[in-house]
């Protein structure tokens, strides 16, 4: 029988639940380690974050996706600097995988992975969306990418995030058993409020820390 193909951009919860057993964990205890992460935001970081808000807060709700990424997201990611021995960042990287006989494929907006000339083992995904969800399901599209990454890595956990305009959400996906997954979604963070942008920045550094210490070294 011919395999059915899905692009990540068309994935919905209805489609995903037909292919895998997926469940949401209805608490956020898993994110306590993130908020407890010891990372100092120095005066230069704070000045950078304040200037990022100042330059974008009145325009961010009107940005197209490429404007949002270029003006706000990319400078923030560059500040975190997802580069190191055996890992680096990728933009619009093509990934694909077969999940229970179905092919998932598409381009990842932002990906941290091992590899020199092409991504090999994915560690973290970020998907970007316009300010309104409309008829798309950003969380499910992100989870579909993360499911593929878990299969590529033959691992049990994957980290991700998505944003809708000024709002950011962080996601952890866990593979419980064959074809059974559960996901955790953080509270929303408003990137135009300095204390919440600091937490976004801190979370990104926590992810970098996990990549270095849990994925790359092991």
Pick the closest to residue 203 from 25, 27, 32, 28 (CA basis).
32
Per-residue model confidence as pLDDT tens digits over 143-178: 999 999 999 999 999 999 999 999 999 999 999 998
**What mean pLDDT comes out for the span 43-59?**
98
pLDDT for res 65? 87
State how far the Cα of 190 lies from the Cα of 167, in Å rounded to an integer: 5
pLDDT for res 215? 65
Q: Which domain holds residue 125?
A: 4-216
In b/e form, how buried is each residue of 81-94, taking b as 16+ CB within 10 angstroms?
A: ebeeeebebbeebe
By the 8 A CB rule, do 115 and 123 touch?
A: no
Q: What is the pTM assigned to this prediction?
A: 0.94
Number of domains present in the structure of the chain? 1
CATH number of 55's domain = 3.90.1570
Q: Rounded to the nearest 5°, which phi and psi values hold at 127?
A: -115, 140
């Amino acid at each position: 029988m011919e395999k059915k193909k899905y692009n990540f951009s068309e994935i919905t919860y209805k489609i995903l639940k037909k292919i895998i057993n997926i469940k949401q964990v209805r608490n956020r205890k898993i994110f306590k380690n993130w908020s407890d992460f010891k990372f100092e935001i120095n005066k230069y970081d704070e000045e950078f974050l304040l200037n990022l808000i100042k330059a974008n807060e009145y325009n961010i709700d009107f940005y197209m996706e490429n404007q949002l990424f270029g003006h706000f997201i990319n400078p923030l990611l560059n500040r975190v600097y997802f580069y190191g021995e055996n890992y680096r960042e990728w933009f619009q990287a093509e990934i694909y995988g077969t999940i229970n006989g179905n092919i998932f494929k598409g381009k990842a907006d932002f990906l941290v992975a091992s590899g020199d000339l092409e991504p090999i083992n994915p560690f973290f995904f970020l998907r970007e969306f316009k300010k309104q969800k409309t008829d798309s399901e950003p969380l499910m599209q992100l989870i579909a990418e993360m499911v593929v990454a878990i299969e590529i890595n033959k691992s049990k956990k994957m980290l991700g995030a998505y944003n809708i305009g000024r709002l950011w959400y962080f996601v952890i996906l866990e593979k419980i058993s064959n074809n059974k997954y559960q996901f955790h979604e953080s509270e929303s963070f408003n990137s135009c409020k300095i204390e919440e942008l600091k937490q976004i920045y801190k979370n990104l550094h926590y992810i970098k820390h996990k990549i270095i210490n849990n994925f790359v070294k092991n």
